[in-house]
């Protein structure tokens, strides 16, 4: 067998393989505009959620409300209202906002409520010091139901320090 004649063919195959690999690396599109929380990886999908209600009251008295309810084969009921940004969305815009929050949050099946709270606050770009109340209720299609409530009482610290002076 003569291998001298195969040298150029092998070089062309190697060149084409390298070129194809470089092209696939360069053709990757931009990442979606989801903020991945530092507290966990996303394992949620909108299809897993039957109902979800989120209400956040901020220190400046503005509120954020997010409501989602799947309706079987029909389009879901969804609304997203953010007083802090003067947004009141419904329809496809609200659905996309809800999808991003759900899919980029820590797993809804987590047994660590503070992790879930922090992940949602991160996604909504809300600093935890700005939160007065946080309420989240949801039901997954597998029947899992959760309710998380957090009331922040900063005035209590001041009351405790005043009572020490007595």
For residue 4, what pLDDT band results from cuts at 50, 70 and 90? low
pLDDT of residue 26: 59
Cβ–Cβ < 8 Å for 95, 70: no
Residue (of 146, 124, 127) closest to 135 by Cα position:
146
Question: Does residue 121 carry a pLDDT above 50?
Answer: yes
For residue 118, what pLDDT band results from cuts at 50, 70 and 90? very high
Query: Looking at residues 69-83, what average pLDDT do you find?
Result: 88
What confidence tens digit (pLDDT) does each residue in 18-73 have? 767 766 665 554 444 444 444 444 478 889 999 999 999 999 999 999 999 998 77
pLDDT of residue 9: 73
pLDDT of residue 24: 64
Burial-class residue 42 by CB neighbours within 10 Å (0-12, 13-18, 19+): middle
pLDDT of residue 160: 47
pLDDT of residue 34: 47
**For the sheet containing 145-151, what is the strand order?**
87-90, 74-82, 63-71, 49-58, 131-140, 145-151
Between these two residues, 1 and 104, which has the higher pLDDT value?
Answer: 104
Question: Does residue 158 carry a pLDDT above 80?
Answer: no
CA pair distance 20, 159, nearest whole angstrom: 68
pLDDT of residue 69: 94
> Lowest-pLDDT range, 5-14, 59-68, 129-138?
5-14
């Amino acid at each position: 067998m003569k291998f001298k004649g195969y040298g150029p063919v092998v070089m062309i195959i190697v060149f084409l393989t390298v070129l194809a690999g470089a092209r696939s690396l360069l053709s990757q599109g931009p990442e979606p505009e989801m903020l991945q929380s530092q507290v966990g990886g996303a394992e949620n999908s909108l299809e897993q959620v039957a109902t979800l209600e989120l209400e956040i009251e901020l220190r400046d008295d503005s509120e954020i409300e997010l409501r989602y309810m799947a309706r079987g084969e029909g389009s879901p009921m969804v609304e997203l209202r953010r007083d802090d940004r003067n947004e009141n969305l419904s329809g496809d815009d609200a659905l996309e906002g809800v999808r991003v929050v759900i899919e980029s949050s820590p797993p809804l099946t987590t047994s660590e409520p503070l992790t879930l709270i922090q992940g949602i606050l991160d996604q909504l770009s809300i600093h935890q010091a700005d939160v007065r109340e946080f309420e989240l209720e949801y039901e997954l299609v597998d029947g899992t139901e959760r309710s998380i409530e957090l009331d922040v009482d900063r005035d209590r610290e001041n009351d405790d320090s005043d009572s020490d002076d007595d």
